[in-house]
Amino acid sequence: METTRLPFCTIVPPHITERLARSDDPRLREAARRTAGTDVLQRNARIAAQRARILPRAVERPPAPRPRRTVYDAGHRQALPGRRARAEGEGAVADASVNRAYDGLGATFSLYLEEFDRYSIDGGGLPLDATVHFGRGYDNAFWDGSRMVFGDGDGEVFKDFTLSLDVIGHELTHGVVQYTAALEYHGQSGALNESMADVFGSLVKQYALDQTAADADWLIGADLLTDRVRGRALRDMRAPGTAYDDDVLGKDPQPATMDDYVETRSDNGGVHINSGIPNRAFHLVAAELGGYAWERAGQIWYDVLAGGRLRPDAGFADFAALTVRAARERFSGDGPEAQAVSKAWAQVGVVTEG
C-alpha cells in the first residue's frame, strides 16, 4: 500500500478504471487498460522524483499578486511538459483545452488568494503549470507534484478533462495539501486528502460562478461523463453514493455515514470511496450556515488544513475535532458555526470531543 506523503493523485478512482478494463466493449477495455498502465508509470515516476525533490524557492509577494501560468500541449504523447501553448498574459488561442486549463488555473489561484490569502499553491507564488492532450484517449487528470496534467478522455465514457472546473481545483488542491498538512495517502488520512481536494475543488467552481451553498450542485466532475453514461458526475458531495448507477461504470460506492464505511485494501484503503463521509460533513455545514460556502465553512476547513495542527496520519475524528476547535476560534465560541460543525459530524457518524 502506498504511504508516501507526496502521492500520485488522479481524479478518476481506480475502481472505475478497473471496471472499464473488464468491459465487454473492446474500445472501453483498451482505453482503460492504457490509462491504468499510464497511471502506474506516472505513479512510479512520482515516487522516484520525490527522492530527489527540491522545493521551489518562495518569491517575494508583490503588492498585487498575479498567477504565473503556463499551459503546454503534450501532442497526445506522454512526455512532459510538452510544447508551450500559452503563458501568463497571452491571449486566448485556437485550442479550447489550452484556454480552459489556463482559465481554471486562474480561477483556483483567485479563490485561494482572495478568500484564504494564500499566494498560489505553495503559499509562496509557485508558478502554475499544466499540460493538456496527454496521451491518447487518456481517461484521467492528475497532479504530479509540480503540474496539472489532463487527458482528452476516450469519447465513449469520458470527455476532455479540462471541461470540469472543479476537477482543476481538486487536483491543484492536492498541491495545497502537499505544502500544508501533507496528509498521508492511505486509509482515513488519504480519504481526508481526497475530501479536501473535493471541497476546495467545489469551492473553486462555486466562487467562479458566484454560487451560494444553496445554488451549487456539489458535484465533482459533472462535465466529464458522456451521454452514454447513466450518471451525473464522479462524486456527489450532497448525497455520496448517488453520483452514478451505470451498466458500464457500476454503482457509486461512496458511503454517506460511518455506518457504511468501506474496509478495503484497494485504492490505498478506499481513499476515493470513504472520502464521501467528510465530503457530506462539509456540505451539511455549508448548507446549515447558508450564504457563500467559502465564507464560513471553507474558512474553517482551510484553518485546519493550513493551521499546523493537522497530523499527516490524522483520522476522521481527529480532523472533526480540529474543525470544531477552528470554528470556535475563528467565530463566536459555541455560536452557530461551531454548532453546525458539531452537528454535521454527528450526522455522518464521526464522534468528536471537540
Active-site hit among 15, 133, 170, 272: 272
Residue 267 CA to residue 97 CA, distance in Å, equals 29
pLDDT-derived band of residue 42, with 50, 70 and 90 as boundaries? low
Q: 509557485: which residue's cell? A: 126
Residue 11 CA to residue 143 CA, distance in Å, equals 9
Give the angle 110-331-118 at the CA atoms, nearest 5°: 20
Query: Could you tell me the pTM of the whole model?
Result: 0.93
Residue 106 CA to residue 172 CA, distance in Å, equals 11
- How much is the average pLDDT of 222-246? 97
Pairing verdict, β 235-236 and 219-220: antiparallel
DSSP letters, 192-218, are HHHHHHHHHHHHHHHHHHT--TTT---
Q: Residue 261 pLDDT > 90, yes or no?
A: yes
Residue 283 and residue 262 in contact, taking contact as beta carbons nearer than 8 Å: no
Active site residue 76: no
Q: Dump pLDDT digits (tens) for 297-309.
A: 999 999 999 999 9
Active site residue 171: yes
Q: Dump pLDDT digits (tens) for 328-345.
A: 999 988 999 999 999 999
Active-site hit among 171, 194, 288, 337: 171
* Whole-number pLDDT of residue 113: 98
Q: Residue 151 pLDDT > 70, yes or no?
A: yes
* Whole-number pLDDT of residue 4: 44
CA dist 287 → 157, 199, 214, 242, 253 (Å): 32, 13, 7, 18, 23
Which residue segments constitute the domains of the chain, with CATH numbers given? 9-179 (3.10.170.10), 187-347 (1.10.390.10)
CB atoms within 10 A of CB 331: 18
How buried is residue 86: exposed, middle or buried, by Cβ count under 10 Å (0-12/13-18/19+)? buried
- How much is the average pLDDT of 15-26? 87
